[in-house]
Amino acid sequence: MKIFTGISKAYTFKGFAKKSGIRPDTSDFGLIKDAALVVNKKGEVEWIGKEKNLNTKIYPFKTTHLKGQNIFPSFTESHTHLVFGGDRKKEFEQKINGKSYLEIQKSGGGISKTVKDTKKESIVQLINISQKRVTQFKKRGVSLLEIKSGYGQDLKTEMKQLKVINSLKGLKIVPTYLALHSFNGDKDTYVEKVLNKDLPKILQEFKKLKRVDLFIESSFFDLSDLKLFVNKIKTFGLDFCVHADQLSSLGTSLKAARLGAQSVEHSVFLKDKELKELSKFDTVMNLLPAADFYLNSPYPKARKMIDIGLKVSLATDYNPGSSPTQDLNFVGLLARRHMKMSLAEVFCAYTLNASRALGVFNKGALVKSYCADFVATTHELEDFFYEVGADIDLKLYNF
């Protein structure tokens, strides 16, 4: 048992959990003043309440005094491409001069460049640079981190990326095999190879891998590939997410939800008529506004999504090209300013709903039996997701 006392304000997010992340509001913060927290040996919340009600006979253990800090559930970063070599700095100037994402890709840049750069790096080099990136997320209060492969286009490099992901330390990490990201040569031949040859070998090598992803977009993969993909992974009992409707409207978000996706990523060009249908499913809408900022594209219709009852999560989409940032504060600020999300909606999106986008249902609230990972800070909740470049002190406690 671990006991934390001296907590000025404990924001439990109990209401977010009670509502399953649907239509969160300020009343759901679950504020407890002058609080104490008891964490059991499993790293779960055993008890939380006012410190004066802490039963020291039941919990006679050494306590950690937090000296009047405030606490709230730690963040989950649910969409990153963190393991990569090289950079794509020169492409930013091309974007400023009007070149589109697809034009850069077709000229040998974009994902194709990162694939080449990642292949050049040794596994030791990738581990070293990736571990530094993990540490940066930890400093920002992230305790659960999703990391995708996808910069391989061949079995050897994809396995190299997954080995790197499995070697990273300091946080709880959810590895995702981004099976279909980009390709060279004939698309149908490539899809057949990945699904029928590479995927079984990867699952044999990485037995803890439970989650896969694919990128559906014009000039990449299409809805017929999505159907083949889902039919194949269901035979292995895998969970999946889909990069959907990021650059154009293909109806991918709705199609993926119907097929049972844990989450759909981006959903920028989602049509209004698809929203009501999407609300029938448990699929989380994982929105990535930093990518929209860098690509100078429209932002997702978060306000309409939330109002209609969809679960919305947020993530950085950290990658070297379309979203080269690890700044959660920036993502939340964009969500508030450009997607009209309230502070409560942003906190719910980056904690409870982000965890559920990864299939983790006991995280994102400080309530009994939930994961007790939390952030301690001298700042108020209102200080988050407001100031560009804010210097917010915080410390992550993860168990």
Residue 177: what pLDDT? 98
| pLDDT the model gives residue 260 | 98
Amino acid at 39: V
Statement to judge: residues 113 and 49 lie in one domain: no
- The residues facing 97 across adjacent strands are none
| Confidence category of residue 90, pLDDT binned at 50, 70, 90 | confident
Is the pLDDT assigned to residue 70 strictly greater than 90? yes
DSSP string, 205-256: H-TT--EEEEEB-TTSB-HHHHHHHHHHHHTTT-EEEEEESSSS--SHHHHH
For 51-66, what is the mean pLDDT? 89
In this prediction, residue 265 carries a pLDDT of 98
Please give the backbone phi and psi of residue 45, each rounded to the nearest 5 degrees, phi first: -70, 120
Residues in the chain: 399
When pLDDT is averaged across residues 262-270 and rounded to a whole number, the result is 98
Q: Of 73-82, 105-114, 213-222, which one has max mean pLDDT?
A: 73-82
User: Which pLDDT does position 2 carry in this prediction?
Assistant: 95
User: Both 313 and 189 in a single domain?
Assistant: yes
Structure tokens at 162: 């997954």
Enter the DSSP assignment of 74. Answer: P
Mean pLDDT of the chain: 95
Is residue 206 left, alpha or beta, with left meaning phi > 0 and alpha meaning psi from -120 to 50?
beta
- pLDDT-derived band at 287, boundaries 50, 70, 90: very high
pLDDT at 349 over 90: yes
Cβ–Cβ < 8 Å for 5, 54: yes
Work out how many domains the chain is built from and give that number: 2
What is the pLDDT averaged over residues 241-245?
98
Same domain, 289 and 387: no
- The token pair at 327 is 């700044």
- State the residue for tokens 């939800």: 257
Give me the pLDDT at residue 97, please. Answer: 80
State the pLDDT confidence band at 283, using cuts at 50, 70 and 90.
Answer: very high
At 62 the pLDDT is 84
Question: Are 301 and 180 members of one domain?
Answer: yes
pLDDT value at position 105?
A: 75
Are 131 and 190 part of one and the same domain? Answer: yes
What distance in Å separates the CA atoms of residue 391 and residue 377, rounded to the nearest whole number? 12
- The parent domain of residue 390 ranges over 2-74+364-397
> Shortest CA distance to 273 belongs to which of 254, 292, 287?
254
**pLDDT of amino acid 218:** 83
Give the rounded percent of residues in the chain with a pLDDT score beyond 70.
Answer: 100
What was the pLDDT predicted at 219?
82
**Mean pLDDT confidence for 365-388:** 97
Q: Per residue in 301-319, pLDDT tens?
A: 999 999 999 999 999 999 9
Quick one: 64 and 96 in the same domain? no
Predicted local distance difference test score (pLDDT) of residue 174: 98
Looking at residue 78, its pLDDT comes to 98
Which position has the higher pLDDT, 306 or 99?
306
Instruction: Answer whether residue 57 shows pLDDT above 90.
Output: no
Task: Report pLDDT for 389.
Answer: 87
> Do residues 118 and 85 make contact, with C-beta atoms less than 8 angstroms apart?
yes
Q: How far apart are CA 261 and CA 284, in angstroms?
A: 8
CA distance 364 to 369: 12
Helix/strand/coil percent split, the chain, to 5: 40, 25, 40
The pLDDT of 16-35, averaged and rounded, is 98
The answer to whether 140 and 326 have CB atoms below 8 angstroms apart is: yes
**Mean pLDDT across the stretch 197-220?**
95
**In which band, very low, low, confident or very high, does the pLDDT at 103 lie, cut at 50, 70 and 90?**
confident
CA-to-CA distance for 287 and 269, rounded, in angstroms? 12
Per-residue model confidence (pLDDT) at position 234: 94
Residues 45 and 105 in one domain: no
Tell me whether strands 374-377 and 395-397 are parallel, antiparallel or unpaired.
antiparallel
pLDDT value of position 104: 79
Query: Are 143 and 268 found together in one domain?
Result: yes
Question: How many separate helices (H) and strands (E) can be counted in the chain?
Answer: 16, 14
- Give the SS3 label for residue 175: strand
Greatest CA span in the chain, whole angstroms? 69
Burial grade of 222 (CB within 10 A; 0-12, 13-18, 19 or more): middle
The answer on 368 and 353 residing in a single domain is no
CATH of the domain at 392: 2.30.40.10
**Three-state DSSP state, 143:** strand
At 122-151, the pLDDT tens digits run 999 999 999 999 999 999 999 999 999 999
When pLDDT is cut at 50, 70 and 90, the band that residue 182 belongs to is confident
pLDDT at 64 over 90: yes
How many CB atoms lie under 10 A from the CB of residue 41? Answer: 9
pTM here? 0.96
- The continuous run of DSSP H or E covering 338 comes out as helix 328-339
Whether residue 277 contacts residue 254, with contact meaning beta carbons closer than 8 Å, is answered with yes
Residues 160 and 32 in one domain: no
The type of residue at 388 is: V
Which H/E stretch holds residue 7?
Answer: strand 2-11
Of 374, 335, 313, 396, nearest to 73 by C-alpha is 374
Looking at the fold, whether 134 and 257 belong to one and the same domain comes out as yes
- Residue 179 CA neighbour count, 13 Å, CB half: 32
Confidence of residue 344 (pLDDT cuts 50, 70, 90): very high
Domain of residue 108, CATH code: 3.20.20.140
pLDDT grade, residue 109 (50/70/90)?
A: confident
- Mean pLDDT confidence for 102-122: 85
Regarding whether 271 and 140 lie in a shared domain, the answer is yes
| Element holding 69 (H helix, E strand) | strand 63-73
- Cβ count within 10 A of residue 307: 12
- Quickly list DSSP for 120-135: HS-HHHHHHHHHHHHH
